[in-house]
């Protein structure tokens, strides 16, 4: 019996050895030829594009993008918010007869809402910049770093008009921060890079160009925005817009879209303006938006320009001045033609509006203007903007 079992086992082993040998013979060409350049899986001996100077230049640019991402992305954070809201019950349940009959207590139902945005660390002390609309009216703010560590954030301050908020997290060692650039130094066509958390997708890198350096979009602060075609989507708000040197030149704020997703028209708050707001928030200083009390004509006809002696000149025609306003007190009147604001050419309304809003109440703004074909200047002490200002500044 034992001898028979030994014979069967020998036969089985022999078959197994034969099977392994045959499989090895069949598969060995594939394994040995994986490193063979003459194999059918290699169409050419060497990629001819590797010799192209254009490709070599593109590879250098690609390496630069990788370096930017590796350097900056650890300083870009994910911001999660939580808000408890009271939901009113169906009016049917508020009927006193119904409640009395079915013994239904009158109460409101609470519901938790969550939000998502981006931000970036500006120094190793743990200060983080984002948009006000990301963190306004919430009960809890959580900051998540690229290493997936989460921290409860304290809201230091917000500027609702500028849409800039300052947060702080504590107890973080070796915190990576961004480098702030000069937003005045950018030009149309420059590379633009956005890093953030669109739709909750963490540490997403998108690239495009600067489409416009001063786009007027009728925002509350009057500050012309940086326009870019780098993909910005919901969740990118508050994240950095970078130049090719990896420096933050803007805070991603909003997009134009009918679908809710990116169509290549995104806007960012210029960093030079944001720096002033951030410093004020850090100091706890509240700057009330300025106000001068004028309304300007939307356009000027050729006949009006000729009659006023301003043909061919760039500026703003005052259509109305509020009696008793700062502009009125400084001597400005309807049909005065504003040519400069703080020495800068007033070629569009945003120049006036952004200066007045940024300077804030109590500041002095110098206006150059033309009246009766003669040039004048006036120093206007700004007042605090009314709660609901009329059209104009």
Q: Which residues are catalytic?
A: 133, 163, 237
Overall size of the chain counted in residues: 393
Pairing state between β 150-152 and 204-215: unpaired
* Rounded Cα distance, 267 and 258, in Å: 15
Q: Which two tokens stand for residue 295?
A: 């309304």
- In 3D space, the residue among 118, 151, 111, 143 whose CA is nearest the CA of residue 133 turns out to be 118
SS3 content of the chain, % helix, strand, coil (to 5): 30, 30, 40
* Rounded Cα distance, 119 and 128, in Å: 6
Q: Which two tokens stand for residue 134?
A: 């990301």
Instruction: Give Cα separations from 371 to 305, 330, 336 (angstroms).
Output: 12, 14, 5
267 touches 250 (CB < 8 A): no
**One-character DSSP codes across 96-107:** HHHHHHHT----
């Amino acid at each position: 019996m034992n001898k028979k079992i030994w014979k069967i086992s020998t036969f089985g082993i022999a078959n197994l050895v034969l099977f392994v040998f045959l499989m090895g013979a069949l598969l060995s060409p594939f394994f040995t030829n994986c490193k063979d350049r003459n194999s059918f899986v290699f169409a050419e001996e060497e990629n001819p594009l590797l010799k192209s100077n254009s490709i070599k230049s593109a590879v250098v640019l690609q390496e630069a993008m990788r370096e930017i991402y590796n350097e900056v992305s650890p300083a870009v954070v994910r911001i999660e918010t939580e808000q408890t809201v009271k939901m009113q019950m169906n009016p049917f349940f508020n009927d006193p007869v119904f409640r009395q009959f079915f013994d239904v207590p009158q109460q409101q139902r609470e519901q938790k809402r969550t939000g998502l945005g981006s931000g970036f660390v500006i120094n190793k002390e743990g200060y983080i910049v984002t948009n006000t609309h990301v963190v306004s009216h919430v009960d809890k703010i959580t900051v998540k770093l690229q290493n997936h560590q989460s921290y409860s954030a304290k809201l230091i301050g917000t500027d609702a008009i500028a849409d800039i908020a300052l947060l702080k997290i504590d107890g973080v060692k070796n915190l990576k921060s961004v480098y702030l650039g000069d937003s005045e130094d950018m030009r149309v066509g420059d590379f633009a890079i956005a890093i953030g958390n669109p739709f909750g997708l963490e540490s997403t890198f998108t690239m495009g160009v600067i489409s416009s350096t001063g786009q007027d979009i009728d925002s509350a602060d009057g500050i012309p925005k940086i326009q870019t075609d780098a993909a910005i989507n919901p969740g990118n708000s508050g994240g950095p817009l970078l130049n090719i040197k990896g420096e933050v030149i803007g805070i991603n704020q909003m997009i134009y879209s009918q679908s809710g997703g990116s169509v290549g028209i995104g806007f960012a708050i210029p960093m030079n303006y944001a720096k002033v707001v951030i410093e004020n928030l850090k100091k706890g200083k509240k700057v009330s938006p300025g106000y001068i009390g004028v309304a300007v004509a939307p356009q000027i006809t050729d006949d009006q320009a000729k009659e006023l002696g301003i043909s061919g000149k760039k500026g703003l025609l005052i259509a109305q001045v509020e009696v008793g306003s700062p502009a009125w007190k400084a001597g400005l009147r309807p049909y005065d033609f504003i040519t400069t604001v703080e020495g800068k050419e007033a070629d569009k309304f945003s120049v006036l509006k952004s200066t007045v809003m940024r300077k804030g109440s109590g500041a002095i703004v110098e206006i150059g203007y033309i009246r009766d074909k003669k040039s004048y200047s006036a120093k206007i002490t700004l007042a605090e903007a009314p709660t609901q200002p009329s059209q104009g500044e």
